[in-house]
Amino acid sequence: MKFNFIKNRYIWFAFSLAIIITGIVFACVQGFKLDIDFKGGTNITANIGQEFNNTDIENIVEKITKAKPLVQKISVEETSVSITTDVISNEQSAKVVAELKAKYKNIKDEPSVRNIQPAYTKELVTSAMKAVIIGIVFILIYVAIRFKMLGASAAVAAVIALLHDVLIMLSVYAIFRLPVNTACVAAILTIIGYSINDTIIIYDRIRENKRKISGKSKEEIINAGINQTLTRSFYTSLTTVISISAVYVLAYINNQQVLKEFSLPLIIGIIFGTYSSIFIAPPLWYMFSEKVDKQKAKNKTSKKSK
């Protein structure tokens, strides 16, 4: 069975737009949940020297700071803990350390206390934005050169699809109140790379069809290209999602917060990255190229009339 992806393009666009608008509403109403990486804060690291329960440590910190901290085991050593809170005073951090020492007698070495300043945060935000923008610019140049036969509109459509993926990811972070941190930036860059790979494969097939298929409309050629790569895209994405889902399940069982915060958006991002390469980029390219063709035809007509 062959699907007509171009004919139903406005349905795909409306679906994506609904998610993005929902994300914008959530972001405006409740804002993003910025992690210590982006808003500054205090991090306390300690080697407890024995097995511990995250909830016990959360209760200790919450009693002193009046705010719920992020407590996670450090993967390298199961007896080590990382405690992240909003910025607290030296007196409060000293009390937390004292309480930890009182509860856990086997604690090794002196716990380290590190404060992340807002100045570092601004630099990190700037660097993250530069990384995303530079990545997209290079992708635009690459697609424009490699798929010159499809026209510059193909590159523009691919980049808009990537921006779609970034907005979807940010919407997920806003809706589910996931902490925005360096793992978020890594997830977004990963999804951009994954999505453009799928888009390039579809573009490549469309380019081949333009050379081989004659007597077919542009819509039929694009639909043929998408349908021919559909099985490959589905199975590749499914395999990747299953692998990352396994990581998320293990992280959930072992209470590895950082892995959970990285793998969940990645799962959603891969699904929507595949979605955009099929349902967003090719239909957008079709619309842009049709406008370009109409404009060229109009220019020719006006020249002949003169």
Q: Are residues 217 and 82 in the same domain?
A: no
What's the mean per-residue pLDDT of the chain?
83
Q: Are residues 189 and 92 in the same domain?
A: no
The Cα–Cα gap between 74 and 81 comes to: 6
The Cα–Cα gap between 72 and 179 comes to: 14
Contact criterion met (CB below 8 Å) for 187 and 266: yes
User: Which of 163, 166, 240, 152 is closest to 203 using CA atoms?
Assistant: 152
Q: What is the pTM of this model?
A: 0.76
What sign does the CA torsion over 301, 302, 303, 306 have? positive
Choosing from 55, 89, 116, the residue where a domain stops is: 116
Q: Are residues 124 and 265 in the same domain?
A: yes
User: Which of 301, 285, 265 is closest to 33 using CA atoms?
Assistant: 265
Q: Are residues 278 and 239 in the same domain?
A: yes
The Cα–Cα gap between 196 and 147 comes to: 13
Q: Are residues 48 and 150 in the same domain?
A: no
Q: Which of 9-18, 74-83, 98-107, 141-150 has the highest mean pLDDT?
A: 9-18
Q: Are residues 222 and 129 in the same domain?
A: yes
The Cα–Cα gap between 159 and 162 comes to: 5
72-108-78-62 Cα dihedral, nearest 10 degrees: -20
In a 10 Å sphere around its CB, with 0-12 CB exposed, 13-18 middle and 19+ buried, how is residue 244 labelled?
middle
pLDDT tens string 6-34: 888 999 999 999 999 999 999 999 888 77
The Cα–Cα gap between 72 and 59 comes to: 13
Confidence class for position 187, pLDDT limits 50, 70, 90: confident
Choosing from 116, 149, 182, the residue where a domain stops is: 116
Q: What is the mean pLDDT of residues 216-224?
A: 86
The Cα–Cα gap between 243 and 224 comes to: 30
pLDDT at 306: 58
Q: Measure the CA angle with vertex 142, ends 292 and 150; round to 5°.
A: 30
